Amino acid sequence: MRVLVLTDLHANWAALEAVLEDAEGKYEQIICCGDLVGYNPDPEPVIEWVRSHCASVIRGNHDKVVAGIEGLDWFNDVAQAAALWTRARLSEDQLAYLRSLPQGPVTLEHFQIWHGSPRDEDEYVTNPREAAPCFAFVQMPLAFFGHTHLQGAFFSKYRRIGTVPPVPGNSDEAVIQLDPDTVFMVNPGSVGQPRDGDSRAAYAIFDSEQNYVALRRTEYPVQRTADRICRAGLPDVLAQRLLAGI
């Protein structure tokens, strides 16, 4: 089975559309590691698409705040403004859907998913030092997560921790071959607001038969989303961030 793994879509419909076109329907299932909304101008179509297409979805910190499960206090001014803007646009039904999303980790047939870390959905795992203690909580040889918007992977083999870098700028794919002696925590990277210096939308495909994960990047009309951020009355800095991929 091939699984399309998405995370941190952040209401960027153009980026999601480009990812789906790039993946060419070559998957049997779609899963989402949270943060459907926040930052960008298309929360309604992204929520509706995720709701009708994803086999498994967990919540992210932005979903929690927009849905009112958690207060705005931990967000910076820009994230707060975007969360309030988003909340005002969504229907009661869409807010109820966000409220209904489960907290990770969730264990699926071939892997686990969570948003931040396996012990705390709001924790950022950005480097091997932060990743190392997480492996004690991983219950399967493969897991997918998000939250940092940084594409790549951490792995543990015979208690040694290693990293897999994101797809290089001159390529659109990097393949991680899985092996039975190694536990992998893979971050597909953010569909809707990449922060690893590459503005291309990021995602992953897992193939359970060939036993690999393909990290992928694809161009999308980022300027168009940036213009729409400004026109929508969202903070301009969000447009600049999107264009720079930071």
Tell the smallest beta-carbon distance from residue 35 to Zn ion (Å): 4
Judge whether 19 and 205 are in contact, CB under 8 Å.
Answer: no
Binding-site member from 14, 29, 35, 82 for Zn ion (CB under 5 A):
35
- Closest to Zn ion by CB, 8 vs 198, is 8
Question: How many Å separate Cα 69 from the centre of its chain?
Answer: 20
> Considering the rule CB under 5 A, would residue 63 count as an interface residue with Zn ion?
no
Region 2-21 residues binding Zn ion, contact defined as CB under 5 A: 8
* Nearest-angstrom CA–CA distance, 186 and 110: 13
Please count the other Cβ atoms lying within 10 Å of the Cβ belonging to residue 99.
14
Evaluate the omega torsion of the peptide bond into residue 105 and state whether it is cis, within 30 degrees of 0.
Answer: yes
Please answer whether residues 144 and 138 qualify as being in contact, where contact means their C-beta atoms are separated by less than 8 angstroms.
Answer: no
* Nearest distance from C-beta of residue 152 to Zn ion, angstroms: 15
Q: Which stretch binds Zn ion (CB under 5 A): 34-42, 78-86, 100-108, 166-174?
A: 34-42
Under the phi-then-psi rule, with left for phi > 0, alpha for psi from -120 to 50, and beta for the rest, what region is 80? alpha
Touching Zn ion, residues 175-204 (CB under 5 A): none
Residue nearest to Zn ion (CB): 35
**Closest approach of Cβ 179 to Zn ion, in Å?**
30
Q: How far is the CB of 74 from Zn ion (least distance, A)?
A: 13
Q: Choose between 35 and 42: whose C-beta lies nearer to Zn ion.
A: 35
In the complex, minimum distance from the CB of residue 140 to Zn ion, in angstroms, rounded to a whole number: 23
Nearest to 184 by CA among 106, 131, 130: 131
Which is closer to Zn ion, CB of 97 or CB of 178? Answer: 97
Characterize the bridge pairing of strands 56-57 and 212-218. unpaired
Residue ranges binding Zn ion (CB under 5 A): 8, 35
